[in-house]
Amino acid sequence: MLSLGSGQGDKDLILLEALREHGIRISYVPVDTSQALLEMACGGALRAGFAAQGIKADFTRLEHRAALAAEPETPRRLVILIGNTLGAFDPIAAAGELARLLRAGDLLLVDGELYAGDATMAGYDNPLNRRFAWAPLHAVGVRDEDGDLRFEAKDDPRLPGLHLIPKHFHAGRDIAALMGGELLRLSQDDRLDMSHSYKYAPDTFLRILSDAGLAARWQSRSLDGRFLMVLAGLA
């Protein structure tokens, strides 16, 4: 099981345990840019009795994806990208990159968060998520009184049912922040774009995978109806 952007591997371990209960022998290969999170993911799997080897890599980089794809001697792989991670990138382009990562016989498990209008926005624009979203700004010296953190809802014109939730910081006054040893100056009313997240209509999520050359073999929604998970192979 090749887990892209594994983090500390909590969700992966649930899937590993389920596969073992069905009699499947499986080894675990988490991929992440964080050494600390990789060690946590491997440690949890090893304590549960699974063979594990982490790979410190950024799967968004072409040369890293090429290295992950060029492993002809390994058994069939279940490649997983879960937690709406696909939505943190351009899902149309990223789906094609995932398809090129698969070999004959490999499978992909991927999920997407379904768009639900005001309910989706409420999941972002609330006190708990705002504290989380402010954290990287606070880390570089930007304070709440320096401006506003704003969330938006947009439609991506490339596909009906493809929705983008971007966020940005709007400076309320002239400020200076230290980022990576470099001084970043913002003037009043400047906009600093931050991370985004894509959401989908169900048919749109399936179309993105299909257009990338992936054929869905199984699909299911989460119990709360907010996520669609798909198991796919090369078409």
**All structural domains of the chain:** 2-115+201-234 (3.40.50.150), 118-198 (no CATH)
Model pTM score: 0.88
Q: Which two tokens stand for residue 38?
A: 């990789």
pLDDT digit string (tens) for the chain, length 235 residues: 999 999 999 999 999 999 999 999 999 999 999 999 999 999 999 999 999 999 999 988 888 888 888 766 678 999 999 999 999 999 999 999 999 999 889 999 999 999 999 999 998 888 999 999 999 999 999 999 999 999 999 999 999 999 999 999 999 999 998 888 889 899 999 999 999 999 999 999 999 999 999 999 999 999 999 999 999 999 9
